[in-house]
Amino acid sequence: MKTAYTNGTIFTMDAANEWYKNGIIITEDGRIVYAGPPNDFEQQSVDETIDLKGKWVLPGLVNTHSHILMTILRGTGDDMNLKPWLEQRVWPLEQQFTPEIGTASARLGVLEMLKSGTTTFSDMFNPNGIDSDEVIHAIADSGIRGAFSHTVFSAGSEADQRANLNEAERFAKTYRSFADGRFTTMIAPHSPYTCTPKALEECARLAKENKVMAHIHVAETDGEIEEILTRYGARPIEHIRRSGLFDVPAIMAHGVVLNDEERAFMKERDIRVAHNPVSNLKLGSGVADVAALREADVKVGIATDGVMSNNNFDMFEELRLAALLQKGTYKDATRLPAEEILAMATRIGAEAVGMKHTGCLKSGRCADFITIDPSDKPHLQPAAEACSHLVYAVSGKDVCDVYVEGRQLVKDGQCLTMDEEKIIADANRLRKQLEI
Ligand SMILES: CSC[C@H]1O[C@@H](n2cnc3c(O)ncnc32)[C@H](O)[C@@H]1O
Ligand SMILES: [Zn+2]
């Protein structure tokens, strides 16, 4: 089936940042075969024509780090610093999870992501209390794209730790090319402070043997740097390097506390960063020096983290904040211009999670795109400066249509693939089972 989407303002987000007013996208079998000006487009050459009536079109957003299984915990654990938040609130709550809670939580998270314009996300699942096979199938049914990992923690007995690593490997092998290739997997040791050096080494081996990326929380707070220095005599980046985990393509969540030497090393090893501006502020962790990372030519994607530290999955909020934080901390408004932020949320984010086939509206890439209709929205008028509006004025609620691999998943703000009423009812019913 060949479909033409006509009369859109198309932000290709390719390396040249080309955009076209009254542009056209032609898709076939889930791929883009053309994106650009209408030139000599002939309606007869396609099976179907959809008039976008001036809507803005951009690649679906890529959320490079999330925890959808925490979605049911939204609104709990506010106003706490990272360590007590994890130890006193998050982990005791996650211990109460059942498979039903985990799956309901995942569905709610995916629904929110899709409706706010995210088409790809890279997620760390909790290892306890859930049925990761059921979760993966629930996510697959929604039509979204993603990279998933069953997180590794060095907790419990030796047998428990071995079982956790075995499950992380089984999960990575089983789903490494699942849902018609929309899903990939990663090996995700939670962090250098929750995993032993041996577990990090094991994770490095598993990622290498299974040819998947590594995903880990690193350099999130000053406290983490001190703790790892005290325990192992090295800062987190050097400590993890010694384990071999950075011998495979890796993405680190946070990267708030880094120095020049570490950034140069990250460039050399192509270690990517998932920047979580809201989560880093909410947990009092600080502000990642994204401008320095970009100057060092490190790939930086944008992310939400879980909703307990956010409290939503609206990537547009992250874009705006990511731009403003660098301008404010550097006292220099030229830092991270809107075009660069948009690229980080799309093409660069996709590269950061190892998905070069999405994130850009270009012939050969997957037809993963979203539309926004500015025509009835005062906050997006005058509509001429669309690129600026996409970073500084749009919110997830403005997203109109969402397509993944040419399949429409959201139409006029309504999700076509998920039962919204049931998902919300289930989340509220199951939330009552948790002792908050
Ligand atoms: C879902 S398994 C991963 C594990 O990570 C916890 N988590 C969520 N946000 C953060 C963060 O910012 N730093 C460290 N760990 C985090 C989550 O609750 C799970 O237990
Ligand atoms: Zn996280």
Ligand lying nearest the CA atom of residue 125: 1
Mean pLDDT by runs of 10 across the 436 residues of the chain is: 97 95 97 95 93 98 98 98 98 97 98 99 94 98 98 97 98 98 98 98 98 99 98 98 98 98 98 98 98 98 98 98 98 98 98 98 98 98 97 98 98 98 98 97
Q: Range(s) for CATH 3.20.20.140 in the chain?
A: 61-352
Q: Is 239 annotated as a binding residue?
A: no
SS3 call for 354? coil
Q: Which CATH architecture has domain 2-59+358-415?
A: Roll (2.30)
Nearest CA to ligand 1 atom 2: 126
Residue with the smallest CA separation from ligand 1 atom 16 is: 86
Mutation choice for ligand 1 from 68, 71, 86, CB with most ligand atoms inside 8 A: 86
* Residue 166 bridge partners (DSSP): none
Identify the pLDDT of residue 40.
87
Q: Is the ipTM of this complex over 0.90?
A: yes
Q: At what angle do helices 158-174 and 132-142 cross, to 10 degrees?
A: 30
Residue range(s) in the chain whose domain bears CATH number 2.30.40.10: 2-59+358-415
Q: Which atom of ligand 1 is nearest to the CA of 125?
A: 1
Asked if residues 423 and 104 have their Cβ atoms less than 8 Å apart, the reply is yes
Q: Look at the block and give the residue holding tokens 């547009």.
A: 316
Rounded distance, CA 9 to CA 387, Å?
10
Pair 305, 277: CB distance under 8 Å: no
Q: Is 254 annotated as a binding residue?
A: no
| Closest ligand 1 atom number to CA of residue 305 | 9
Q: What is the pLDDT of residue 221?
A: 98
Rounded CA Rg of the chain:
21
Return the residue whose CA atom lies nearest to atom 13 of ligand 1.
Answer: 217
Please name which of 243, 304, 293 lies closest in space to residue 270, comparing C-alpha atoms.
Answer: 293
Distance from C-alpha of 107 to C-alpha of 100, rounded to nearest angstrom: 11
DSSP state of 175: T
65 is an annotated ligand-binding site residue: yes
Q: Give the CA dihedral 300, 380, 404, 169, nearest 10 degrees.
A: 30
**Ligand 1 site residues, Cβ closer than 6 angstroms:** 67, 69-70, 82, 86, 90, 94, 124-126, 151, 190-191, 217, 220, 279, 305-306, 309
Protein residues within 5 Å, CB atom, of ion ligand 2: 253, 305
- Sign, Cα dihedral of 101, 102, 106, 112: positive
Alpha carbon distance 191, 196 (integer Å): 9
On whether the CB atoms of residues 260 and 237 are closer than 8 A, the answer is: no
The separation between the first and the last C-alpha atoms of the chain, rounded to the nearest angstrom, is 50
- Ramachandran bin of 75, using left for φ above 0, alpha for ψ from -120 to 50, beta for the remaining angles: left
Give yes or no for a contact between 276 and 40, defined as CB atoms under 8 angstroms apart: no
Secondary structure of residue 83 in the 3-state scheme:
helix
94 alpha carbon – ligand 1 mean position (Å): 10
Q: How far apart are the C-alpha atoms of 171 and 341, rounded to whole Å?
A: 33
Determine which residue's CA is closest to atom 4 belonging to ligand 1: 126
Q: In whole angstroms, what is the distance from residue 126 CA to residue 137 CA?
A: 16
Most informative mutation of 72, 82, 190 for ligand 1 (most atoms within 8 A of CB): 190
Task: State how beta strands 31-36 and 183-187 pair.
Answer: unpaired
Measure 214 CA to ligand 1 centroid, in angstroms: 15
Candidate of 217, 276, 278, 311 to mutate for ligand 1, largest count of ligand atoms within 8 Å of Cβ: 217
Ligand showing the shortest atom-to-Cα distance for residue 280: 1
User: If we measure between CA atoms, which residue out of 59, 56, 3, 51 comes closest to residue 27?
Assistant: 3
| Distances in whole angstroms, Cα of residue 173 to Cα of each of 167, 187, 191, 201, 433 | 10, 10, 22, 18, 33
Q: Which of 70, 154, 256, 307 to mutate to test the pocket of ligand 1 (most atoms within 8 A of CB)?
A: 70
Residue with token string 């056209």: 24
215 is in an annotated binding site: no
Q: Which CATH number fits domain 61-352: 3.20.20.140, 1.20.1070.10, 3.40.50.970, 1.10.268.10?
A: 3.20.20.140
With CA atoms as reference, report the closest residue to 329 among 283, 279, 391, 277: 277
Contacts within 8 Å (CB) and 24+ apart, 232-240: 232/192, 232/197, 235/262, 236/192, 237/262, 237/265, 237/266, 239/192, 239/197, 240/192, 240/200, 240/216
For residues 303 and 65, is the Cβ–Cβ distance under 8 A?
yes
Q: What is the pLDDT of residue 43?
A: 87
The rounded Å distance from CA 226 to ligand 2 centre is: 20
190 marked among binding-site residues: yes
pLDDT of residue 127: 85
Q: Please tell me the predicted confidence (pLDDT) of residue 142.
A: 98
Q: What is the pLDDT of residue 15?
A: 95
Of all ligands present, the nearest one to the C-alpha of 305 is 2
